[in-house]
Structure formats: C-alpha cells, structure tokens
C-alpha cells in the first residue's frame, strides 16, 4: 500500500494579504500576462491604459480636452485636464481597493473602468509612483514605492490647471527587462483619439486628433484604398465604419465606452450577425455569411452603462444588455444596422454594386475550392493522429484558462531544432510545429494552395484559423529559424504565407520572430548568452581573462538545457509589425517575386554585414 504524505492544513495555512501584496503576488489577475513589451497586450501597456482610461472617462463626462503623455527611459508621465481627484481622497484613490467615484453612476455614466482597481494596480506594480491632483487653485501630491506610501504632501496653493498628473515606472522585479514600443503606444493613443472626437492627445512630440471618428480609424489602418468608399454610420451610443479590400480574412476593430475590446464580445458578435442579415435582405439573396464578410475591414463602437467585461483587462465584452432600459445589445445593433445600412445602400447604388460583385467573387472562389477543402480537412485530421508535426500544449488561447495569454506556437524547421525546443518547453502553454524543409513561396497564389499544400494545410489546422481569428489556438505564433541564409529565407516564406492568406494574424499582433543568442561567453563561474556583438564585448569585459566563446550557428546546436533560458520568462521576441505606410504588395513583390538579381544582392549584402559585425 502506498503511503501518501500531505502538507499540514491548519489555521496557519489561511493567509490574508493586503491588496497591494495580492496584486504583486498575482499580477496576472489584474493586468493579464507580464511580458517584456514585445506584444501589444503585455502588462506594461495595460498599466498605461489603466491610467489613461481615467482621463478618458473625464473627457467623456465633458471635462478636459487635452491629454499629455510621455515615456522617457521607462518613466511614464500622463497629465489630463479633467476635474482632478478630490484632494482629501487622493491617497485612498490610488491605494485603497474598492475606492473610487465610478461606483456613483451619476458621476460616471458610461465609464470604462468600474471596479476601482486600475490605479491601485499601477501603483502596486511600479517601483516609482507619483500622483498629483489639482482642483480650483489647490494641489496635493503623494509618492509611493511598490504600493507603499513614502510621502504625502500637504494641500498647497497652485496655479496649475485642474486635472491629474501620474508619473510611474513599472517595477523590474515584476516585469524583468522590458521596453515600451512606440508602435504599440501610438496605436493605442490613436484609437483613443478616433473614439473621442475633440480630444487632443500629445505623445512624445506627436499630436493625435480626429474629426471623423471611426472613418479616420479605418483610414489609418489601411495602406490601400478600399473597394468602395468607407460606409460611416453614426447613431446615439453607436458608430460603425465598413469597407472591403482585396485581402483574405476579416479585420475588425471593436470598442466599448472607448475601450478597445481586442477579443470582441457580444457587440462584435451582434455586428457580424446584423451585417449578414441586412445584406441578405437588401439583395434578397441567401448569401453565406462568410462570403459577405470575406475581406471586410470594419469598426464598431458602442457606449453602454456599467459594461461587464470577461476579465479585468477589459478585452472582451460580456454584457448582453445596453443599460437600465434592458435593451439587448444584439437587438440594438441589429436594429441600427438594418435601418441605417439598408438606407445607405439604397442611396448609394454604386457602392451597392461594388459590394455585390465582391460577395459574388468570394462565393465563386469558395465553391471552387470547397471539394479540396473537404479533402484537406480530412487529411489534417488523419495527419494529427499519425504524424509528429505538432507537439501541442495543454492550454489554448481560445480557452478560459488564466494562462491563455501565455500560449505560444513555435514554428521550427528540422528535427534537431524542433527536438531541442520540444524537450525544453513548458508543455502547458508552449506548442511546437515542425516544418519539413523550406515551405513553398505563396506570393501571387490563391487560397486554393493552402489546401493543396500539406505543410500549409496542417499549419492552418494547427492554428485553427481557417474561418478567422475567433478560434485562434495560440496567442503568440513564433517563427523560430536559424539566423543564416536558409533561416532568413524560411522566415520570409512564412511571413509571406501569413500576409497573403491570414493578414489578421499580423495586424492583430500575434506573429513574432524568436531571438536566440549568437554567442555563449563563459568561464568556470559565470555564463553569459549574448544576442549581439556589443553584448559579447560587455560579457568578455565582465569575465576578464580569456573566457570560452561559442558562436551558435543554428538552433540545433543549442542543447535543451540551454534552450530553457531562451524560451522561458526571459524569451526575446521581435514582433512582426505592419504600419499603414508599409506597401505590402510592393514588399512581397520585391522579396518574394521572381528571383531578381536586385533581391539576391540585397539579401546577400545585408546578411554579409550582419556576419561581418560578429567577426572577432
């Protein structure tokens, strides 16, 4: 009989933590994943958003039209010109849980944050936190360290405008080595400007302002003109913008009370249903919803009282009702679109004609590949049973598990590289997909190729993105290849595949390149892994003498024990970003078009520079 020993479970086992201690112990409950700033949903951006949300709420209530934000050496400063926090409650507002004005719906009717948690989480997770409030010629400030009050100033006279200034620095004890990427911050702030007409946002010398709301938002996201002018519809508490492009997939931007709900929710589900219903009724055709929505680029923003989100990070709306009246979000959106989109199409027959042609073209292509699709799905199911291309993980992004944001799929080439990652990964959140040699160049191909090519069909099935991003299985899709000519070529081929057929994966910030060290520098006491020539030089100086230097030429050369350092909490990821000014078609033509001498010279010359830089 086996003896089972258990830990003693007594009164001493029950612990009560102070709110700030709980936030620091379980930060994921308050800000999602931690991350190092490589991904748009990393915790450092959530901290930034939590502070800004309070300022936006002030603007929405008619107070303060200007917002100033700066980030300098990881120190963040945010200054609004709202009413200011009542001075006598300044410390409580940022240090005491469940303390705030948003419990009073008369003061904040359609607010983003209703839980009284945001500023407290920022305070607790910052090594330096300072807040100042100005009201009617008087001011007060307080200083904190990791949520602990260090100094509280007396109320003084001031000439400052009303409002609040928050200065904070995320704690490296919590976040490790991190960085703010301007691209992510800029995208966040532009969204705030688009959703709040009249608001002026200043960020590190840039100014963001919008007159046309979601119309401006869609234009900012599109590098090329849509097939027809953007349909822009506005009503009380709802705004919609719609167009179609030539790309595959569906691209949506959804918002609730100015909050970017990147995972959608009840309002986006209702929008998709309403769009299909309205289009079918207008054309009197029973179109497939997928044919109506293929290549769509759309945005929806609604305002409701006391929204319910599925997590503290507010990325997915769970509310089903609009507010005290009890109107369902579904009926509200369907009624609005049925009336206003139908009216627009009747008044703009040229747009209606272009839209109809797009739907018919999508229907034609879908039917042309439907037989291949069926065979490909069956092949993918059988392959999942009989091959080892995918080593799956236990948690998935489309689950409700608290670690869902950590889920990753590493796409590798070759048995040795995939073997090392497989042996060193976290089986709960990290999956591995092994490519068999170089994938096919998909530039200029139709989606029929995705089903005909076994590699791409299996990759599509592994990601679960055939019908869009709603059921994506991994939050981070990571290309892990060698840093040589072949590895770079595989990266380009994979990025081309995603750009051609699943651009939303990139636009929604899910695609990354794994950075692995170029050198290992060590002596008998210490080991440094260096990602650049500069890091190698610094490591040699620290160790002194003549340390052993190893140049890693491929992922397969790195042992599983060492790989744990590179794909664990200190993983270095480089996001694949698309900006409006990026001409996707032009880039693909240059890199992946015919094997022109210009492209060959460019790749060889740039690789040679990189290799020259690491020569001792």
What mean pLDDT is reported for the chain? 85
Which residue is associated with the tokens 């210009």?
Answer: 598
The whole-number pLDDT of residue 484 equals 78
The span from the CA of 143 to the CA of 91, in Å, is 9
- Tell me: the pLDDT tens digits for 318-344? 778 776 566 889 999 999 999 999 999
- Tell me: the pLDDT tens digits for 263-322? 888 999 999 999 999 999 999 999 999 999 999 999 999 988 878 877 666 778 877 877
Q: Is the pLDDT higher at 209 or at 555?
A: 209
With respect to CATH, is domain 387-516+554-613 assigned 1.10.3720.10? no
The span from the CA of 225 to the CA of 237, in Å, is 28
* 133 — pLDDT class (breaks 50, 70, 90): very high
The whole-number pLDDT of residue 200 equals 96
Specify whether the CB–CB gap between 407 and 397 falls below 8 A. yes
Specify whether the CB–CB gap between 300 and 294 falls below 8 A. no
Residues 562-596 as b/e (b if ≥16 CB within 10 A, e otherwise) read bbbbbbeeebbbebbebeeeeebeeebeebbeeee
The whole-number pLDDT of residue 2 equals 44
Pick 19-208's CATH classification: 3.40.50.300, 3.10.560.10, 2.60.40.10, 3.30.565.10: 3.30.565.10
Residue 444, token pair as written in the block = 């200029």
**Any alpha helices (H) in 481-520, and if so which ranges?**
485-501, 503-507
Q: What distance, in Å, lies between the first and last C-alpha atoms of the chain?
A: 63
Q: Does residue 188 have a pLDDT over 70?
A: yes
Fold match flag (19-208 vs 387-516+554-613):
no
Query: Tell me, which fold does domain 214-364 have in CATH?
Result: Ribosomal Protein S5; domain 2 (3.30.230)
The whole-number pLDDT of residue 616 equals 34
Residues 123-150 as b/e (b if ≥16 CB within 10 A, e otherwise) read bbbbbbbbbbbbbeeebbbbbbebbeee
Q: Does residue 380 have a pLDDT over 80?
A: no
Q: Map out the domains of the chain as residue ranges.
A: 19-208, 214-364, 387-516+554-613, 517-551
Nearest to 472 by CA among 496, 446, 508: 508
* 107 — pLDDT class (breaks 50, 70, 90): very low
Please provide the DSSP assignment of 95-112 as one string. Answer: HSTT-SGGG-TTT-SS-S
Q: pTM value?
A: 0.84
The whole-number pLDDT of residue 184 equals 94
* 371 three-class SS: helix
In the chain, pLDDT over 70 holds for what percent of residues?
85
Q: Does residue 26 have a pLDDT over 80?
A: yes
Nearest to 474 by CA among 411, 520, 421: 411
The whole-number pLDDT of residue 282 equals 97
The span from the CA of 611 to the CA of 616, in Å, is 10
């Amino acid at each position: 009989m086996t003896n089972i020993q258990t830990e003693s479970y007594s009164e001493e086992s029950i612990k009560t933590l102070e709110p700030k201690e709980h936030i620091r112990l379980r930060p994921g409950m308050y800000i999602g994943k931690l991350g190092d700033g490589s991904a748009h949903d990393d915790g450092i951006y959530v901290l930034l958003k939590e502070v800004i949300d309070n300022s936006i709420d002030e603007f929405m209530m008619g107070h303060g039209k200007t917002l100033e934000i700066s980030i300098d050496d990881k120190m963040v400063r945010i200054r609004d010109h709202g009413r200011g926090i009542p001075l006598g409650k300044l410390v409580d507002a940022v240090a005491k849980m469940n303390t705030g004005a948003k419990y009073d719906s008369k003061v904040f009717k359609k607010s983003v944050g209703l839980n009284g948690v945001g500023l407290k989480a920022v305070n607790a997770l910052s090594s330096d936190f300072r807040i100042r409030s100005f009201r009617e010629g008087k001011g007060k400030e307080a200083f904190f360290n990791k949520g602990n009050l260090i100094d509280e100033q007396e109320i003084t006279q001031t000439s400052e405008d009303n409002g609040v200034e928050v200065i904070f620095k995320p704690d490296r004890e919590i976040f490790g080595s991190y960085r703010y990427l301007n691209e992510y911050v800029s995208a966040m702030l532009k969204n705030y400007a688009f959703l709040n007409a009249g608001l002026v946002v200043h960020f590190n010398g840039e100014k963001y302002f919008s007159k046309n709301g979601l119309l401006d938002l869609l234009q900012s996201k599109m590098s090329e003109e849509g097939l027809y002018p953007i349909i822009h519809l506005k009503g009380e508490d709802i705004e919609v913008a719609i167009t179609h492009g030539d790309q595959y997939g569906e691209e949506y931007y959804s918002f609730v009370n100015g909050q970017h709900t990147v995972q959608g929710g009840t309002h986006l589900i209702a929008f998709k249903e309403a769009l299909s219903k309205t289009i079918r009724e207008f054309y009197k055709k029973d179109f497939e919803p997928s044919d109506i929505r293929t290549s769509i680029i759309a945005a929806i923003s609604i305002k409701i009282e006391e929204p319910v989100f599925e997590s503290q990070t507010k990325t997915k709306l769970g509310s089903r009702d609009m507010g005290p009246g009890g109107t369902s979000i579904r009926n509200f959106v369907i009624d609005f679109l049925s009336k206003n989109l139908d009216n627009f199409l009747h008044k703009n027959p040229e747009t209606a004609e272009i839209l109809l042609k797009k739907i018919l073209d999508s229907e034609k292509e879908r039917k042309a590949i439907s037989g291949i699709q069926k065979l490909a799905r069956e092949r993918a199911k059988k392959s999942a049973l009989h091959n080892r291309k995918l080593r799956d993980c236990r948690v998935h992004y489309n689950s409700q598990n608290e670690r869902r944001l950590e889920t990753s799929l590493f796409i590798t080439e070759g048995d040795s590289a995939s073997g090392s990652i497989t042996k060193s990964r976290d089986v709960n959140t990290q999956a591995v997909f092994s490519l068999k040699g170089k994938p096919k160049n998909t530039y200029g191909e139709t989606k029929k190729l995705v089903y005909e090519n076994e590699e791409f069909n299996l990759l599509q099935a592994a990601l679960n993105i055939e019908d869009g991003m709603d059921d994506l299985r991994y939050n981070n899709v990571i290309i892990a290849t060698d840093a040589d000519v072949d590895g770079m070529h595989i990266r380009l081929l994979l990025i081309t595949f995603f750009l051609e057929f699943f651009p939303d994966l990139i636009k929604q910030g899910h695609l990354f390149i794994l950075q692995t060290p170029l050198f290992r520098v060590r002596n008998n006491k210490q080991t440094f892994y260096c990602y650049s020539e500069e890091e190698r030089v610094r490591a040699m100086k620290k160790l002194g003498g003549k340390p052993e230097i190893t140049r890693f030429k491929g992922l397969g050369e790195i042992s599983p024990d060492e790989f744990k350092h590179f794909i664990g909490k200190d993983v270095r990821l480089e996001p694949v970003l698309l900006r409006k000014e990026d001409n996707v078609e032009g880039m693909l033509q240059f890199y992946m078009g015919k094997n022109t001498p210009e492209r060959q010279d460019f790749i060889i010359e740039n690789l040679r520079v990189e290799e020259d830089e690491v020569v001792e």
